[in-house]
Structure 1
Amino acid sequence: MDSYYDDPRLTGDHRRSIETPTGAVTLIGTVHDHPASAFRARTVVANESPDVLALELPPLSLPLFERYAEATRTPPPFGGEASAAIQAAATDRVVGIDGPTLPFLRRLAATLYREDRSLETLPGVVDGLASVTRNAVRCRFAGALAAATSVRVEADSPVAYDVDRTDDPRRQAASERDQIDRARAVMDAFEPSRAASFSDDVREAHMADRLDALRDDGDVVAVVGRHHLDRVAERLGDRLD
């Protein structure tokens, strides 16, 4: 490739840039654990050299991915696009912008109350929150254990795809597009549950709020799921209007 911008893993519709008075916010959409996404995350972070790296992770989970990023291999064998981005970052300002956190829980409760969600929706929201919280705590424990000992607990098992990092970039990009198209087809065919849709709305609003606050610290690169990319960008843009 003559330029990294010519790489098909970088030229797709996976990037949103928002200029603000205090710095640029660049959002990178990814497919979790996909090699094309890991390449895109680490390449953009390395080239943009942001003041802040923001990741779609709960703060509780972040130490585990920082441990993954210490691997000698590039990209790291575990942690997907998140650890790849951390490994490429020149900044020490790396933050998790997803829930659960106390501000996230306050937003969730306030939104439930304001929108008068039915009792039918509430159990699904609570179950989803409990699952995410358990996983975040498990990641926190694994990160603490790895920091204190030589034991590595794989709390975040990699997702397997039909390609790996050694495959041709065009093949990686095509595989990633197939994953995105397949996910969109499923969403079009099966409407998400009210609980899942509600949880996504709250998470995206929370992430946009976090990015809005972080932009005061300078340029930000945020690595988020491709499913959330447009809505987080739109919400952040609305806050700047």
Structure 2
Amino acid sequence: MPSPNDSPESDRDHPRESSAERASESDADRPRDSDGERPSEPKNEPAADDPRMNDEYVRRLPDEGVTVVGVVHDHPASVHRARAVVRERDPAVVALEAPPLAVPLYETYARESRTPPTFGGEMSAAAQAAGETDAEVVGIDAPTAGFFARLVRNCRSAGASLGTLRRVASGVASVTRHALTCRVAAAVADRTSLRVEVDDPVDHDCDRTDPPAVQARDEVSQARRSQSLLRAFDPPRPVRLRDETREECMAERLSALRERGETVAIVGLDHLDSVAEQVEAD
């Protein structure tokens, strides 16, 4: 989720890259069962009263055939909710807040036998559930040709200064490089047995071995803290221009996907209301 700082991109938009060796070390540090493997979560359907299935973080738009799931990136409660809603809805399409170029990497992560997958957080968990239901997985986030065109229009309409334009361009260049890195990592994984972790996972105060109630409480606490910060600090204009354009493009893409059938979208909590409202208004 974007932080209210002065940088042109959030940590999620411009993650640090990891080598294959670093990925292996990271995996080695995670909890393992008695056989030396990381334990998988049960594959049965979640109980109706599971606190991680927080309706506050889900927008159901039955008239549009779209369900939008809000997440705290890499949080175990969000990972669970993303996977569970995809299984529950059995959609034709699962749309990720990820660039189309990055989707093959999440699909690669999703092919492992562990549930949820080791890497990729809620995005690979949703992709794994999509594979179980034969749903198509698509990326709806920037960079895309449509995003670049709309961003230019929005910058012109806003009368953005040269300094703002430079910082917008810097942020867009960063996320474009990251998307290309994801695509290369997916190609490497397809051709070798090498598994590359591109994104360093976000650290949280709980993990998926904690009880559901503990996960849910921690997620709510983090979400409220983030929302309080966003209310207290206006994001820099370049960040605001870019994120508003991203949300417009994601909503437009979701509206177009309705022709293919029911769609479940996975987006960061800070984008949830804006994207859902724009889809509903379309």
Q: TM-score range by the shorter chain?
A: over 0.9
TM-score, normalised relative to structure 2? 0.81
For 1:160 and 1:78, the matched residues in 2 are separated by 13
Question: Are the aligned partners of 1:5 and 1:11 in contact in 2 as well (CA < 8 Å)?
Answer: no
Question: Are the aligned partners of 2:247 and 2:271 in contact in 1 as well (CA < 8 Å)?
Answer: yes
2:171 aligns with 128
Asked whether 1:78 is paired with 2:148, we answer no
1:44 aligns with 85
TM-score, normalised relative to structure 1? 0.94
Please, which of 59, 62, 65 is the counterpart of residue 100 of structure 2? 59
Letter matched to residue 50 of structure 1 = P
For 2:54 and 2:226, the matched residues in 1 are separated by 20
2:246 aligns with 203
Residues paired across the two proteins, number:
236
1:151 aligns with 194
Partner secondary structure for residue 120 of structure 1: helix
2:142 aligns with 99
1:32 aligns with 73
Please, which of 176, 191, 194 is the counterpart of residue 234 of structure 2? 191
Aligned-residue offset at 1:209:
0.3
Letter matched to residue 215 of structure 1 = R
Aligned-residue offset at 1:91:
2.4
Aligned-residue offset at 1:19:
2.4
2:276 aligns with 233
Sequence identity of aligned pairs in percent? 50
Partner secondary structure for residue 60 of structure 2: strand
* Aligned alpha-carbon RMSD (Å): 1.4
Letter matched to residue 126 of structure 1 = A
Aligned-residue offset at 1:174:
0.7
Deviations 1:168-211 (A, max 9, x none): 10100011111111111221222110111111110000000000
Stretches of structure 1 that go unaligned for 5 or more consecutive residues are none
For 2:167 and 2:47, the matched residues in 1 are separated by 43
Deviations 1:71-114 (A, max 9, x none): 11100010000100111111241100001011111111122122
